[in-house]
Amino acid sequence: MWISDAIDKGLIQPSRVAHHSGGPEAATEWLRSNYHHLPNHLRPQEEELDEFGAFFSTYLLSSFDIVEKPGTKGIGPTPVLCRCELCMRIVNASHLHPKKLYARDKRRADYLMSECIAELASENGLKIDEEMTTRLVTDEKTRRNCAYLAYGHWLIKRLSGESDGPAILALWRLIAWDSRGGMRSGFTLQLNDFHMAETELISTIKNAI
């Protein structure tokens, strides 16, 4: 929201052509070039810019699409602006809409949860089969904990620019949204909730085998 307002007012600039390969590199370059224009409460520490830029790039690319309409920038013969996916999202911040999730994205999120459960069990010397993994992922009593486990795993990978696309957004919504499809009232992401989800899943697996 701040980027959208600042670009429209000319306070900050989008990236120019061909100084990066897109993705994390583009985000980090943009952050460095506009660093001192960012408000203090939004500004990452300089020594954290690479990781923050990598994460920021996965956020923009995995969670948003540009909705073209009058005023969309960078469309047509405007070679001055960089047109990589990341920079196009930055310059068109006011035209970004949350990605629409499809059945394939939700199936992929289930697969990511299954992968992380299998890894968690293995790390704790517990043997589980595919049937139990599927049950944990689909049971409403454990599904949100599974989403926390997988989302936390990918949060760390995203610090180096890795993502799994809209499936990550699907995981986020399993955590942060309520059954009506909106944000849970007063929800904030807390480290303790990740620890609690992992502890409860380990306990559930131990009680089932």
Tens of pLDDT along 56-70?
A: 899 888 888 877 654
Whether pLDDT at 94 is above 80: no
User: For residue 179, what pLDDT band results from cuts at 50, 70 and 90?
Assistant: confident
Distances, alpha carbon 177 to alpha carbons 158, 180, 197, in Å: 21, 8, 16
Beta-carbon contacts of 202 under 8 Å, excluding residues fewer than 6 positions away, are 120, 124, 126
Task: Give the tens place of pLDDT for each residue, 135-161.
Answer: 999 999 999 999 999 999 999 999 999
CA dihedral 177, 182, 186, 189 (to 10 degrees): 30
**What is the structure's pLDDT at 195?**
97
**What is the structure's pLDDT at 72?**
47
Give the whole-angstrom CA distance, residue 47 versus residue 69. Answer: 38
